[in-house]
Amino acid sequence: MLEHLIFDSPLGLLTAVANDAGLQAVYMAEHKRRPAQETMGGRVAAADSAVLGQAAAELAEYFAGSRHQFSVRLAPLGSPFQHRVWAALRAIPFGEVRSYGELAATLGDESMAQAVGSANGRNPISIIVPCHRVVGADGALVGYAGGLDRKQFLLELENPAWTGTEALF
């Protein structure tokens, strides 16, 4: 059964979506690929869903600075290639960044940087699957479905000394 939970965060309202297998998505209010609210299942309270309650609690700990890894069960919908990219994203250490080319090389083919960027952009589980940790080859902030200001916020939250080129456009 599909259900969702809406909760506040330093980035504004977040909507977490889960099915019986686990957490399917975390969307920001202005998420570029956010589906219509009516497709997210019934709205529940955190106490009424173990997965959604855990996701909200872990995200609160992350924003408070006390959580660097997530343990909530994930069940994103995507192609096998997208799942490979999302697994590679989860392997990027807290507070570090990688370029699209570096991520593609991790997957075995540096020439797949554009395909990696496309899969990264379709990551439905914002923050928990840390697509915000991927930057341009020159360190510039590029491509984030929640907006580049949120991407910069997350990178600085994880590493206050982060000094990427901070090119916002």
Q: Active-site positions?
A: 131
Q: C-alpha distances in angstroms, 164 versus 2, 43, 92, 131, 145? A: 38, 38, 16, 16, 19
Q: Tokens 């899969």 identify what position?
A: 119
Paired tokens of 127: 């923050």
Residues 22 and 35: their CA atoms lie apart, in Å, by: 18
Classify 12 as helix, strand or coil: coil
Q: Which residues contact 39 (CB under 8 A, 6 or more apart)?
A: none
Kindly state the tokens that stand for 85: 């990219």
